[in-house]
Amino acid sequence: MPTLKRKQIYIEPETSTALKKLSKLTNFSEAEHIRRAIKLYLSKQDFELESDPILELLGLCKSRSGIPKNGSIKHDRYLYGEKIL
């Protein structure tokens, strides 16, 4: 089983009761039903994580050849491209 991250959630009493019944009927834990429901929900969403220009700087300075000499002055250009009016 992959490493799992612990999350705490609040659900309505009716949802909790239905989840308990479903768990007993299917012999799957409540947590497993919640994990499956979240995976299904996320698979139906149409979103894409935005790329963060700051993250593109990670690893830039691993080698001497990758260090811009004017990075402290023209950092916006390196982060966002040409000047935006």
Least confident of 7-16, 24-33, 66-75: 66-75
With helix as H, strand as E and coil as C, how does the chain read? CCCCCCCCCCCCHHHHHHHHHHHHHHCCCHHHHHHHHHHHHHHCCCCCCCCCCCHHHCCCCCCHHHCCCCCCCCHHHHHHCCCCC
Tokens of 75: 């950092």
Residues of the chain above pLDDT 70, percent? 68
pLDDT digit string (tens) for 32-55? 999 999 998 888 887 766 667 666
Q: Which residue bears the tokens 């979240």?
A: 38
Higher pLDDT, 29 or 57: 29
Say what the pLDDT of residue 64 is: 60
